[in-house]
Structures are given as C-alpha cells and as structure tokens.
C-alpha cells in the first residue's frame, strides 16, 4: 500500500477490483483546507479515462509491473500486434488501451510491453521517435527555427507544430512525452 501523494505519472495501482494507470497528476492546494490530488486515471481493462480527486493520505495498492522488450508489428482491426523480442510470442493490445501511444507507433519500432500478473496492460515508448511529415503548408524561404511554426501531420496522424522550413516528406524527431518537435532527422 502506498499513499496517493507518492503516485507518479505512468504508475499502475489497484482500487477495488480495477487496475488503474495514472495519466496525469496535480497537487492542488485550495485557499482553505488540505491539499488534494487531482488525477486523470485510466481503467486499464476498459480504456475509460476518469478525472478524480483524492486526499494525499489515501492509500492505494501499488501493482508490480513486469516489463519486456518488444517490437510493434502491425495493426489488426481494433488492436495493435507486438512481438516479444526474447521468446517471439505475439501479443495484441486493444486500441482503447493505447490511445495516446498509437500516435507514435511506426512498424518495427522497439517498445517495452508492460504486464501485470501475466496480462498485458500497456506499452512504454522510447523517448523520441522519427516520423515523416505527410501534410503541411509549403516551405517559407528564409525561415529559421526561431521564426514561429506551423502545424504538420505525420504518417501516424499525429499533428505537430514544426518550424516553417519543414516540408512534406521531411523526417522529424518528436518527443513522445509531450508530442513536441525536437529536430529534423
């Protein structure tokens, strides 16, 4: 058992019979009263996301997460297929469980699969990914990296704000933590 004040983004805990993942967490100190923990949590099995408030002293059951290196293979219907790099087993993960992560998945990309009691509960992405720009406004001559930005759609459907000199077909490096443009590949 751990206190909610010790929860961090990405941690998995059990509340009742539900396995929950912390998507976002904020400490909120109202004008009067005690500090509150405002969290966006995802039910791992159903994929539903709920905003909740808890007291920092509340206790929840932390769940041990086993991690295994894997490779993203392809999408099949409403799920994504991954292969364990140690034993070559293939695992399917429903799209509702990896809604945000799907925007960064590129075929043959290495990821980390997360398991709880032998059940796959999510994936961990690398810090950055290389994506191809498929749709953006035309290049502006003389543009620099400091001259503002423009939206660009990548081959995975992710929309990223990029410098004005980026054009269709360019490969860019994107930070998976916040979806921000990092550099040209």
List per-residue pLDDT tens for the chain, 185 residues long. 888 888 888 888 888 888 888 888 888 887 777 888 899 998 887 778 889 988 888 898 988 889 999 999 999 999 999 999 999 999 998 888 888 888 999 999 999 998 888 888 888 999 999 999 999 888 766 655 565 688 999 999 999 998 888 889 999 999 988 888 988 88
What pTM, to 2 d.p., does this model score?
A: 0.74
The per-residue pLDDT for 138 is 83
The answer on 75 and 101 residing in a single domain is: yes
Question: 55: domain range?
Answer: 2-62
The answer on 33 and 58 residing in a single domain is: yes
Cα–Cα–Cα angle for 52, 179, 62, nearest 5°?
40
The per-residue pLDDT for 17 is 84
Q: How many domains does the chain have?
A: 3
The answer on 91 and 112 residing in a single domain is: yes
The answer on 155 and 118 residing in a single domain is: no
| CATH code for the domain in which residue 46 is found | 2.30.30.30
The answer on 134 and 117 residing in a single domain is: no
Rg (CA), the chain: 19
Distance CA 96, CA 108 (A): 21
The answer on 114 and 88 residing in a single domain is: yes
| CATH code for the domain in which residue 104 is found | 2.40.50.140
DSSP 11-43: -EEEETTEEEEEEEEEEE--SSS--EEEEEEEE
The per-residue pLDDT for 185 is 82
The answer on 78 and 52 residing in a single domain is: no
The per-residue pLDDT for 148 is 67
The answer on 46 and 72 residing in a single domain is: no
The per-residue pLDDT for 110 is 95
The answer on 29 and 6 residing in a single domain is: yes
């Amino acid at each position: 058992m751990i206190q909610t004040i010790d929860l961090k983004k990405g941690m998995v805990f059990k509340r009742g019979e539900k396995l929950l993942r912390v998507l976002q967490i904020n400490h909120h100190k109202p004008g009067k009263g005690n500090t509150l923990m405002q969290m966006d949590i995802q039910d791992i099995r159903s994929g539903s996301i709920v905003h909740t408030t808890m007291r920092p002293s509340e206790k929840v059951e932390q769940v041990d997460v086993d991690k295994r290196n894997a490779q993203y293979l392809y999408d099949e219907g409403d799920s994504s297929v991954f292969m364990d790099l140690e034993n070559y087993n293939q695992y399917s993960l429903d799209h509702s469980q990896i809604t945000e992560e799907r925007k960064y998945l590129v075929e043959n990309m290495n990821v980390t699969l997360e398991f709880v009691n032998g059940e796959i509960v999510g994936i961990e992405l690398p810090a950055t990914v290389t994506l191809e720009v498929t749709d953006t406004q035309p290049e502006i001559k003389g543009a620099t990296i400091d001259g503002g930005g423009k939206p660009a759609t990548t081959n995975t459907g992710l929309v990223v704000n990029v410098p004005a000199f980026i054009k269709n077909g360019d490969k860019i490096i994107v930070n998976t933590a916040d979806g921000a443009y990092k550099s040209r590949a």
